[in-house]
């Protein structure tokens, strides 16, 4: 699963973390700048009221928790404008795009790189690509199936169809 959402809902769904590429980070996780390990805010005792959200651009505040493994600076794993994408997550997303049978793209304009190019990688790897979005995208003519609709209209009936198919 490749996501640009930072709300932690994919992890809460039960998907194995090693299968999840969170390209824009996760608001519930902190990342060490030195060793790249990730921790929940609770694991390290991060108090957002005291130390703020921990964005890369924030100056460190006295008493902020450090990485338990190496003592490095912890920052929010959320990627803000100007921040680099996490290389491990990007590599996993590229692997998913190269090896998937079907790529389901939900609600993305596909104009922000490097995430947008993942669709092209999947197409070149002969994956079937289903694109659900209300607005135009650069890949509209190249995908296997293009659905011009809001994902909130498409997903509930699609989930019911999948559930029915797997009950049999």
Residues of the chain with CATH 3.40.50.1220: 100-167
Average pLDDT estimate for 143-164: 95
Helix (H, G, I), strand (E, B) or coil at 152: helix
pLDDT score at 16: 93
pLDDT score at 84: 85
For residue 96, indicate whether it is catalytic.
no
pLDDT score at 45: 96
Q: In CATH, what class is 100-167?
A: alpha beta
Average pLDDT estimate for 21-48: 95
Residue range 91-118, pLDDT digits in tens: 999 999 999 999 999 999 999 888 899 9
Helix (H, G, I), strand (E, B) or coil at 60: coil
pTM of the model: 0.85
User: How many residues does the structure list for the chain?
Assistant: 168
Average pLDDT estimate for 61-83: 94
Q: Could you tell me if 132 and 151 are in contact, meaning their C-beta atoms sit under 8 angstroms apart?
A: yes
Catalytic residue among 10, 24, 28, 96: 24
């Amino acid at each position: 699963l490749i996501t640009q959402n930072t709300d932690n809902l994919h992890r809460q769904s039960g998907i194995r973390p090693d299968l999840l590429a969170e390209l824009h980070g996760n608001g519930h996780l902190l990342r060490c700048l030195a060793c790249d390990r990730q921790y929940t805010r609770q694991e390290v005792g991060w108090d957002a009221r005291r130390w703020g959200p921990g964005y890369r651009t924030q100056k460190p505040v006295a008493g902020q928790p450090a990485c338990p493994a190496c003592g490095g600076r912890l920052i929010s794993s959320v990627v803000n404008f100007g921040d680099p994408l996490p290389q491990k997550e990007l590599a996993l997303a590229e692997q998913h795009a190269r090896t998937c049978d079907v790529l389901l793209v939900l609600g993305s304009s596909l104009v922000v790189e490097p995430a947008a190019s993942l669709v092209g990688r999947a197409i070149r790897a002969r994956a079937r690509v289903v694109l659900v979005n209300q607005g135009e995208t650069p890949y509209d003519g190249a995908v296997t199936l293009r659905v011009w609709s809001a994902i909130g209209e498409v997903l509930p009936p699609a989930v019911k169809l999948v559930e029915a198919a797997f009950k049999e």
